[in-house]
């Protein structure tokens, strides 16, 4: 049992789970717009997300990331480097439009993680801004890149899906923001710090409403998309209700990040009929 728990913790702390969530959202974009799946882009996003997230979590300081003392972090470091090499391999097969989009996202991620801004270590140190930056990167990765991979223009439906995906990520970040209240410095001025837990949950609930009902603004809505987003809408509403300041160890890091994977499962199941 202890061995299984160690593997599970490594699965979470090495960012495999969050990478699967990003992978799932990208796959949903392909299915939503009936785009032929670019496996190289999917695998690039999966492996790139692992190495990127681990760099942000464990290596925002270059010296710290190179000189790792704990064996556990060394294992994550080695795993991240292998994933980075795999991501580079798959990037070789991508078109120029996708590569340009990736470059923009990498620069934005660098601004988020590295101390390049005056009077602030990085964008992550701007508590009120960081969740919007994270949402923007997720949207660019899971919606814009798949569209660019087939050289499609940004149609009205793509714009609506982009806004919905942005709202979805903001909603999923609410439990993390509430959980981190006891860790975040007061000067960060995160949303829960400014407005309290109750108002932050209400904010998330309103975003959930906007997320679902924006679906009806699309020109082309499939039954599968409507049903899957309806079920996800209910799950997000329940999430806002059950989110608390004192959370179990795996509530946010596993259950919340499982929702995109669950959404893909609904999408695939509904598509089989």
pLDDT of res. 66: 55
The encoded tokens of residue 90 equal 């798959």
pLDDT of res. 203: 94
Q: Is 175 helix (H, G, I), strand (E, B) or coil?
A: helix
Contacts of 184 (CB under 8 A, 6+ apart): 127, 190, 193
Tens of pLDDT, residue by residue over 198-209, are 999 999 999 999
pLDDT of res. 38: 92
The encoded tokens of residue 221 equal 């809505």
Distance CA 70, CA 54 (A): 15
Distance CA 26, CA 267 (A): 12
Question: For the chain, how many helices (H) and strands (E)?
Answer: 12, 0
Average pLDDT, the chain: 87
pLDDT of res. 59: 63
Distance CA 229, CA 145 (A): 21
The answer to whether the CB of 191 falls within 8 A of the CB of 203 is yes
Q: Fold for domain 2-271?
A: Farnesyl Diphosphate Synthase (1.10.600)
pLDDT-based confidence at 127, cuts 50/70/90? Answer: low
Q: What angle do CA 13, 15, 16 make, to 5 degrees?
A: 115
pTM of structure: 0.91
Tens of pLDDT, residue by residue over 1-34, are 778 888 999 999 999 999 999 999 999 999 999 8
Tens of pLDDT, residue by residue over 158-195, are 999 999 999 999 999 999 999 988 877 776 778 888 88
The single-letter DSSP state of residue 258 is G
Distance CA 239, CA 271 (A): 25
Q: What are the residue ranges spanned by the domains of the chain? A: 2-271
Tens of pLDDT, residue by residue over 253-268, are 999 999 999 999 999 8
The answer to whether the CB of 160 falls within 8 A of the CB of 214 is yes
pLDDT of res. 68: 55
Tens of pLDDT, residue by residue over 51-74, are 999 888 776 544 555 555 566 677
Distance CA 35, CA 146 (A): 8
Largest pairwise CA distance in the chain:
56
Above 80 in pLDDT, residue 249? yes
């Amino acid at each position: 049992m202890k061995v299984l728990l160690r593997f599970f913790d490594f699965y979470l702390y090495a960012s495999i789970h969050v990478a699967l969530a990003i992978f799932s959202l990208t796959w949903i974009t392909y299915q939503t717009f009936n785009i032929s799946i670019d496996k190289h882009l999917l695998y690039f996003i999966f492996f790139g997300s692992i190495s990127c997230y681990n760099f942000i979590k464990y290596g925002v300081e270059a010296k710290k990331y190179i000189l790792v003392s704990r064996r556990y972090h060394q294992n994550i470091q080695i795993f991240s480097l292998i994933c980075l090499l795999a991501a580079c391999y798959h990037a070789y097969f991508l078109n120029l439009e996708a590569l340009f989009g990736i470059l923009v996202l990498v620069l934005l991620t660098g601004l988020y993680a590295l101390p390049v801004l005056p009077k602030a270590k990085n964008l992550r140190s701007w508590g009120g801004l960081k969740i919007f930056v994270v949402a923007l990167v997720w949207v660019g990765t899971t919606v814009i890149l798949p569209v660019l991979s087939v050289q499609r223009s940004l149609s009205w439906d793509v714009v609506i899906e982009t806004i919905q995906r942005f709202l979805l990520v903001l909603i999923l970040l609410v439990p993390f923001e509430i959980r981190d209240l006891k860790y975040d410095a007061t000067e960060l001025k995160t949303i829960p710090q400014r407005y309290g837990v109750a108002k932050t949950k209400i904010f998330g609930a309103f975003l959930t409403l906007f997320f679902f009902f924006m679906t009806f603004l699309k020109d082309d809505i499939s039954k599968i998309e409507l049903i899957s987003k309806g079920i996800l809408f209910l799950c997000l509403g329940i999430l806002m209700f059950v989110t608390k300041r004192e959370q179990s160890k795996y509530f946010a890091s596993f259950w919340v990040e499982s929702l995109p994977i669950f959404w893909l499962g609904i999408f695939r199941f509904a598509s089989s009929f």
